[in-house]
């Protein structure tokens, strides 16, 4: 159980600001979800029309802040530094397991109009460093559909290792989908050639 409550992150990269958003962003989140409805459909569970409304996102953002404070989830949105009210993607660290396992799952998505611009790699590089540093966990797992080559390439660039193949792993877009299983360990992440020379670490159990 976390001993203190961390401040809500505001992480800046060269082009982006990664934030746990306030409910005032609810309609902006709804607009992002709606304009990417078809683009995200293949890799998302079936969703009702409610998902694309501001009311839904208002409640979701309140709950996301609560889960962040409780230490059970980190959901960050990618805002452009040129326009801090423009969302181009998000990522979520969820399913935290402590004790002997010390791991969580990573999920992410990107605006259809920003694919191929390197934003996802840029954002996840910063987000993963933050998650490891805050939580002290050992392992982050990220799984993707074999048909989603772009997602696989992002994880490969970040150094994730393929650990297996799971048939009928998750029900997405109305059907069970196979997934390629990958993971990154904290010691491997901190030993990357481009990692900072000194990275502050939180003790296990902080988050």
Residue with token string 């989603």: 148
State how many domains the chain has: 1
C-alpha of 20 from chain center: 11
Classify residue 100: in a domain, yes or no.
yes
* 207 pLDDT more than 80: no
* 4 pLDDT more than 50: no
Contacts 24+ apart (CB under 8 A), 91-95: 91/18, 91/123, 91/124, 91/127, 93/127, 93/131, 93/135, 93/140
Classify residue 182: in a domain, yes or no.
yes
* 194 pLDDT more than 90: no
Average pLDDT, the chain: 88
Question: How confident is the model at residue 191, as a pLDDT?
Answer: 86
Taking the CB of residue 5, how many other CB atoms lie within 10 A of it?
Answer: 10
**Are residues 60 and 47 in contact, defined by beta-carbon separation less than 8 angstroms?**
no
Classify residue 198: in a domain, yes or no.
no
> What is the per-residue pLDDT across 20-38, written as a single tens digit (0 to 9) for each?
999 999 999 999 999 999 9
Classify residue 180: in a domain, yes or no.
yes
Classify residue 199: in a domain, yes or no.
no
Q: Where are the beta strands (DSSP E) in the chain?
A: 10-12, 16-19, 74-80, 87-97, 103-110, 139-144, 161-172, 175-185
Classify residue 129: in a domain, yes or no.
yes
At 170, which CATH number? 3.40.630.30
CA torsion through residues 15, 201, 181, 64, sign:
negative
> What is the per-residue pLDDT across 135-178, written as a single tens digit (0 to 9) for each?
999 999 999 999 999 999 999 999 999 999 999 999 998 999 99
Say which residues have a Cβ less than 8 Å from residue 162's Cβ, sequence separation at least 6: 180, 181, 182
Q: Which domain holds residue 42?
A: 10-190
List strands edge to edge, sheet with 74-80.
10-12, 16-19, 74-80, 87-97, 103-110, 139-144, 175-185, 161-172
Classify residue 1: in a domain, yes or no.
no
Question: How confident is the model at residue 190, as a pLDDT?
Answer: 87
Question: How confident is the model at residue 178, as a pLDDT?
Answer: 95
Classify residue 67: in a domain, yes or no.
yes
């Amino acid at each position: 159980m976390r001993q203190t409550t961390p401040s809500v992150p505001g992480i800046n990269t060269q082009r982006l600001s990664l934030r746990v958003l306030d409910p005032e962003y609810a309609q902006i989140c709804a607009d992002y979800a709606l304009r990417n409805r078809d683009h995200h459909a293949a890799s998302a569970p079936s969703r009702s029309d409610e998902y694309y409304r501001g009311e839904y996102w208002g409640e979701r953002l309140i709950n996301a802040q609560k889960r962040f404070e409780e230490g059970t989830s980190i959901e960050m949105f990618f805002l452009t530094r040129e326009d801090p009210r423009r969302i181009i993607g998000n990522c979520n660290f969820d399913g935290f397991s402590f004790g002997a396992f010390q791991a969580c799952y990573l999920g992410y998505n990107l605006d259809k109009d920003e694919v191929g611009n390197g934003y996802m790699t840029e954002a996840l590089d910063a987000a993963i460093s933050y998650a490891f540093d805050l939580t002290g966990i050992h392992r982050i797992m990220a799984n993707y559909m074999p048909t989603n080559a772009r997602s696989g390439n992002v994880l490969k660039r970040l150094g994730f290792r393929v650990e297996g193949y799971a048939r009928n792993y998750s029900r997405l877009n109305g059907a069970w989908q196979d997934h390629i299983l990958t993971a990154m360990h904290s010691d491997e992440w901190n030993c990357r050639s481009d990692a900072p020379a000194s990275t502050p670490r939180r003790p296990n159990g902080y988050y």
